[in-house]
Amino acid sequence: MPDDLGIYYGEYLQLDKILDAQLLESGREGNKPAHDEMLFIITHQAYELWFKQIIHELESVVDVFDDPVVEDKKMGQVIRRLIRITVIQRVLIEQINIIETMTPLDFLEFRDLLVPASGFQSIQFKTIEIMLGIKRENRISADKEFFHSRLTGPDKKSLDELETKPTLLELTDRWLQRMPFLEFGDYDFWKVYARAVEKMLASDQKLIEGNATLSDREKQFQIHGLEATKVQFQSLLDEDTFNSLREKGEFRLSHQAFLAALFIHLYRDEPMLYSPYRYLALLVDIDELFTNWRQRHVIMVQRMLGTKIGTGGSSGHEYLTNTTRQNRVFLDLFNLSTFLIPRSDLPVLPPELRKALGFFFSGQKASS
C-alpha cells in the first residue's frame, strides 16, 4: 500500500488505541473470557465518549454565560449546542436497550471481578452534574460519602476545584436577574400581574361555588385546593416569603431571576423573548432527559441485580432511585407552570414595552 495517502482514517481516529481498549477481566490468567463482558465494556466506553462531547458543549455554553453581558447573537449558538446535548441524551437512554440484551446470568459470569469499581466513579458524569448545578451540598448522604470513599485523590481534587466555579444554574440566575423589562418606566408588571391573578382566583372560586354538579364535600375539597394555590401565588409575589422558602430549599433561583423566568414564559411569543424561552425550555429538557436516563438505569440495575448491593458497595437500585429523585437541577423551571395564567387573563403590555420586545421596520427603502 502506498505510504503517501495523506491523513489515514484509522490514524485520524486513533482506532488502534480505541479498539485495543477492551481488556476483559474474565479473560485474565488464561481463563475463558465471559462473552458478554465485551458488550459491557463497549457500552460503558461509548457512554464516556458521549459524556466527553456533552462536557465539550456545556463548556462552550458556560463560557457564553460567564461574561458580564450575554450577547443576543450568541443565543442561537447556545440553543443549537443544548439541542445537540438533548439528542445525545436520547442516544444514552437508547443504549440501555443494548445492554439489556445481556441476561442477569450472563452478567454474573464476570460481575464479581468488577468489585469495587462502580459507575459512581465516572468522573465525567460527575463533572456534568456539577457543571449543571448539582454540588456536594445538594446530594443525598450516601452520595456525599462516596466522594470520600470511592474516588482517588486526584479525582477528588479535580471535582473539588470544579465546585468552586460557577455552575450553569448560577450563571442562568445572574443572567435572568439582569432582564430589564420587569419594570419599564412607570409600568410595574408585577402589580398588574397580581391584580390579574386575584381576578382569576376569584373567578375560579365563583365557578366552584356555583357548580351545581358538585356536592358540598367536593366543593370544600376544591376550595381548599384553591386556597393552597393562593398561598403559592402569595409566596411568589412577596419577596420575603419567597426568600424564606428559598432558605429551606424550596427554590434555588433568586426571587428576581424566578420572576424574570416567569415573565419570559408568559410573553414567550414576543420576538425578544423567544430565544430566552427556548434556552430555558432546553434546560428543562436536559434535566428531564437525565432523570429519564437515571430511571431507566435504575430499572436495568434492578433487573440485573435484584436486591443485591452494587459493585461499588451502594444499595444498588435503592441508591440509584434516591439519586434520581434528588439530583434534579432546574426544578424551579419545571414549577413555573404553577404560576402561569390563561392568555385571556394576561395583562396587556404597554405599547412602549411591546415595541422594546419586538422587531419593528419602517418599510421605507434606504436612500441611495
pLDDT over 60 at 144, yes or no: yes
pLDDT tens digit string along 176-190?
Answer: 999 887 777 788 888
The grid coordinates listed for 100 are 439489556
The mean pLDDT value for 91-106 works out to: 94
Query: Looking at residue 298, what is its pLDDT?
Result: 86
| CB 230, CB 262: distance < 8 Å | no
Q: What is the pTM of this model?
A: 0.89
- Domain with residues 9-356, CATH architecture: Up-down Bundle (1.20)
Q: Residue 317: which pLDDT band, with cuts at 50, 70 and 90?
A: low
Which pLDDT tens digit goes with each residue over 24-76? 999 888 889 999 999 999 999 999 999 999 999 999 999 999 998 898 889 99
SS3 188: strand
The pLDDT, as a whole number, for residue 359 is 65
Q: Which residues contact 128 (CB under 8 A, 6 or more apart)?
A: 51, 54, 55, 58
Per-residue model confidence (pLDDT) at position 58: 98
Report the share of the chain in percent with pLDDT over 70.
Answer: 92
Report the pLDDT value the prediction gives residue 2, as an integer from 0 to 100.
Answer: 56
Instruction: Count the alpha carbons within 13 Å of 27 in the hemisphere toward its beta carbon.
Output: 9
